[in-house]
Amino acid sequence: MTPMVVAYASQLSVAPGERVSCMVSCFGVPEYEARLVRVICGDQNPAGPGFRCEPVAEVPARRLPGRVQAVHAGSFAQLPAPADGWQLSAGFTLQATIWPTTPDKGQQAIVSVDSGHGGALQLRIAADGSLALRIVHPDHGVHTVATGVPMLVREWYLVAASYDPRTGEVLLVQEALRPELRAAGDTSFLLRLPTGLAADLDGPVLLAGQSAGTCRDRLVAKHLYNGKIERPRLVERPVAVADIRELATAEVPAELRAVTAAWDLSQDIPTQLVRALPGRAVDGLLVNLPTRAVKGSNWTGAEMAWRHRPQEYGAIHFHDDDLYDAGWEVDFELEVPATLASGVYALHLQGDEAEDYVPLFVRPAPDGPRADVVFVAPTASYLAYANEHMVTDAPLVQLVTDQVSMLQPQDLFLAEHREYGGSTYDTHSDGSGICHSSRLRPILNMRPQYASWLGGSGSALWQFAADTHITDWLASTGTRFDVLTDEDLHADGAEALAPYRVVITGTHPEYTSQRMRDAYESHTRSGGRLMYLGGNGFYWRTSFPDDLPGVIEVRRTESGTRTWAAEPGEYYHASSGEYGGLWVRCGQSPQQLVGVGFAAQGFDVSSYYRRQAGSFDPRAEFVFRGVGTDERIGDFGLIGGGAAGLEIDRHDVALGSPPHALLLASSEQHTDTYMLTLEELLANRPTATGTQDPLVRADLVLFETAGGGAVFSTGSIAWAGSLSHTGGDNNVARITHNVLMRFLDPELFVPPHPAGAAPHRPGDPRAATTHTDTHVFSAVPPRRDPATSRSASPTASALRQGNPQ
For residue 761, pLDDT beyond 80: no
Q: How many CB atoms lie within 10 A of CB 717?
A: 33
What's the per-residue H, E or C state across 179-211?
A: HHHHCCCCCEEEEECCCCCCCCECCCEEECCEE
Q: What is the pLDDT of residue 440?
A: 98
Mean pLDDT of 170-188: 90
Min mean pLDDT across 228-237, 562-571, 655-664, 776-785 is at 776-785
Q: Rounded to whole angstroms, how far apart are CA atoms 596 and 535?
A: 9
Q: Rounded to whole angstroms, how far apart are CA atoms 526 and 747?
A: 13
Closest C-alpha to 597, from 502, 716, 681, 721: 716
Q: Give the distance, in angstroms, between the CA of residue 181 and the centroid of all CA atoms in the same chain.
A: 37
Higher pLDDT pick, 681 / 79: 79
For residue 512, pLDDT beyond 60: yes
What are the residues whose beta carbons fall under 8 Å from the beta carbon of 753, sequence distance 6 or more? none
Residues 659-677: tens digit of each pLDDT = 999 999 999 999 999 999 9
**Exposure letters 333-350 (e unless 16+ CB within 10 A, then b):** ebebeeebbbbbbbbbbb
Residues 571-584: tens digit of each pLDDT = 999 999 999 999 99
Q: How many CB atoms lie within 10 A of CB 493?
A: 17
Q: Please name the helix (run of DSSP H) or strand (run of DSSP E) that holds residue 521, with its range, or none.
A: helix 514-525
Question: What SS3 state is found at 20?
Answer: strand
For residue 758, pLDDT beyond 80: no
Q: What is the pLDDT of residue 184?
A: 73
> Average pLDDT of the chain?
91
Q: What is the pLDDT of residue 800?
A: 33
Q: What is the pLDDT of residue 250?
A: 81
What's the pLDDT band for 638 if we cut at 50, 70, 90?
Answer: very high
Q: Rounded to whole angstroms, how far apart are CA atoms 146 and 127?
A: 10
Min mean pLDDT across 30-39, 317-326, 401-410, 714-723 is at 401-410
Query: CATH: 3.40.50.300, 3.20.20.105, 1.10.20.10, 2.60.120.200. Which one for 76-318?
Result: 2.60.120.200
Q: What is the pLDDT of residue 461?
A: 82
Residues 684-739: tens digit of each pLDDT = 899 999 999 999 999 999 999 999 999 999 999 999 999 999 999 999 999 999 99
Q: What is the pLDDT of residue 57?
A: 96
The Cβ-side half-sphere exposure at 785, using a 13 Å CA radius, reads 18
Q: Rounded to whole angstroms, how far apart are CA atoms 344 and 361?
A: 5
Are 529 and 502 in contact, with CB atoms under 8 Å apart? yes
Are 237 and 253 in contact, with CB atoms under 8 Å apart? no
Range(s) for CATH 2.60.120.200 in the chain?
76-318
For residue 169, pLDDT beyond 70: yes
For residue 768, pLDDT beyond 80: no
Range(s) for CATH 2.60.40.1930 in the chain?
4-71+329-364
What's the pLDDT band for 396 if we cut at 50, 70, 90?
Answer: low
What are the residues whose beta carbons fall under 8 Å from the beta carbon of 34, sequence distance 6 or more? 22, 61, 62, 64, 332, 347, 348, 349, 350
What are the residues whose beta carbons fall under 8 Å from the beta carbon of 3, sequence distance 6 or more? 26, 27, 28, 29, 351, 352, 353, 354
Q: What is the pLDDT of residue 801?
A: 39
Q: Specify the pTM.
A: 0.93
Q: Please name the helix (run of DSSP H) or strand (run of DSSP E) that holds residue 605, with its range, or none.
A: strand 596-611
Q: Rounded to whole angstroms, how far apart are CA atoms 106 and 445?
A: 32
Higher pLDDT pick, 676 / 139: 676
Question: What SS3 state is found at 476?
Answer: helix
Residues 443-494: tens digit of each pLDDT = 999 999 887 654 444 556 889 999 999 999 999 999 999 999 999 999 999 9
Q: What is the pLDDT of residue 459?
A: 58
Q: What are phi and psi of 40, to 5 degrees?
A: -90, -55
Q: Rounded to whole angstroms, how far apart are CA atoms 664 and 712?
A: 10
Residues 216-239: tens digit of each pLDDT = 999 999 999 999 999 999 999 999
Q: What is the pLDDT of residue 183?
A: 77
Q: Rounded to whole angstroms, how far apart are CA atoms 187 and 185?
A: 6
**Domain 4-71+329-364: CATH architecture, name and number where available:** Sandwich (2.60)
Mean pLDDT of 643-655: 97
What's the pLDDT band for 623 if we cut at 50, 70, 90?
Answer: very high
For residue 789, pLDDT beyond 70: no
Q: Which amino acid is at 466?
A: A
Mean pLDDT of 72-77: 98
